[in-house]
């Protein structure tokens, strides 16, 4: 991977005014190499992403000043990680949901020099730190909700949909061709 500064220079600096939700793409760089935090949503019949692998995040509330504040608040609520203690690198392109019409999600990328402690809320059932090198080797196709979708398959978990598309852009910016 090139330098973090070069990667940071390829990120956006604005958020999409049509976006109604935000996620935090938290990168950590321990000694072994760059990795990303992913969470697994708890089973909930009212949650369209129930049981999915995702990034911490959620819908914007009327009290949020902007989508960055949404990402900060949701990440703190879901993982107890205060992103204000980590470096904001920028944002990725907004991603439209294929299952929730009109839902556009704005990803924000943060960097931590070490893995912060994760304390899961009731909305989540697990988390994992996935090395970027592992993601590069785990692309495939998976049966998901009655169809077949491009996905990463990591430790038996299928990473697809919005999370997959965000990771695809992230990887393309970390190591552009």
Rounded Cα gap, residues 53 and 40, in angstroms: 4
- Confidence at residue 101, expressed as pLDDT on a 0 to 100 scale: 66
Q: Where are the domains of the chain?
A: 4-133
Q: What is the pTM of this model?
A: 0.91
Distance CA 99, CA 94 (A): 15
Q: What radius of gyration, in Å, describes the C-alpha atoms of the chain?
A: 15
Would you say domain 4-133 falls under CATH 1.10.4160.10? no
Q: Which residues of the chain have pLDDT under 50?
A: none
User: Token pair of 101, please?
Assistant: 């019409």
pLDDT of residue 2: 57
Beta strand segments in 4-146, E: 21-28, 35-41, 53-54, 57-59, 87-91, 95-96, 104-112, 124-131, 139-144
pLDDT tens digits, one per residue of 108-120: 999 999 999 999 9
Backbone φ/ψ region at 156: left (φ over 0), alpha (ψ -120 to 50), beta: left
* Average pLDDT score over the chain: 90
pLDDT score, position 81: 99
């Amino acid at each position: 991977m090139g330098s973090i500064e070069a990667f940071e220079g390829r990120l956006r600096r604005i958020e999409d005014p049509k976006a109604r939700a935000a996620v935090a793409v938290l990168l950590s760089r321990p000694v072994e190499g760059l990795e990303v935090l992913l969470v697994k949503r708890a089973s909930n019949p009212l949650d369209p992403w129930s049981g999915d692998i995702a990034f911490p995040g959620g819908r914007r509330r009327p009290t949020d000043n902007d989508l960055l504040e949404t990402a900060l608040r949701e990440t703190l609520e879901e993982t107890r990680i205060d992103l204000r203690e980590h470096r904001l690198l920028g944002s990725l392109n907004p991603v439209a949901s294929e299952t929730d019409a009109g839902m556009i999600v704005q990803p924000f990328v943060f960097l931590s020099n070490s893995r912060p402690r994760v304390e899961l809320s009731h909305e989540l059932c697990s988390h994992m730190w996935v090395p970027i090198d592992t993601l590069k080797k785990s692309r495939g196709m998976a049966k998901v909700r009655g169809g077949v979708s491009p996905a990463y398959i990591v430790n038996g978990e299928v990473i697809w949909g919005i999370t997959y598309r965000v990771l695809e852009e992230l990887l393309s910016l970390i190591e552009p061709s």
